[in-house]
């Protein structure tokens, strides 16, 4: 749910697609306004912070499913 007053500012929002092999890509697709950033200010990065992410992919096979 994108709320105009929270998105579209100049504060980059780091998402999973910005994290690649121990680096943070600086090509950002989403930016926050100061109001949007204030809502999640506890998640701001500080020097020496560590970022982790987990992406889980699950494939399901349904041999008897109806088409």
pTM beyond 0.85, yes or no:
no
Q: Tens-of-pLDDT digits for all 67 residues of the chain?
A: 568 899 999 999 998 888 888 888 999 999 999 999 999 888 888 899 988 877 777 776 666 656 5
User: Helix %, strand %, coil % for the chain, to 5?
Assistant: 20, 20, 65
**Which ranges of 1-67 would DSSP assign to H, the alpha helix?**
34-39
Q: Locate the domains of the chain by residue range.
A: 1-67
């Amino acid at each position: 749910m994108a709320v105009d007053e929270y998105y579209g500012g100049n504060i980059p929002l780091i998402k999973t697609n910005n994290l690649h092999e121990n680096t943070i890509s600086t090509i950002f697709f989403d930016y926050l306004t100061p109001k949007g950033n204030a809502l999640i200010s506890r998640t701001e990065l500080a020097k020496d912070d560590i970022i982790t992410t987990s992406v889980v992919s699950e494939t399901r096979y349904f041999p008897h499913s109806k088409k």
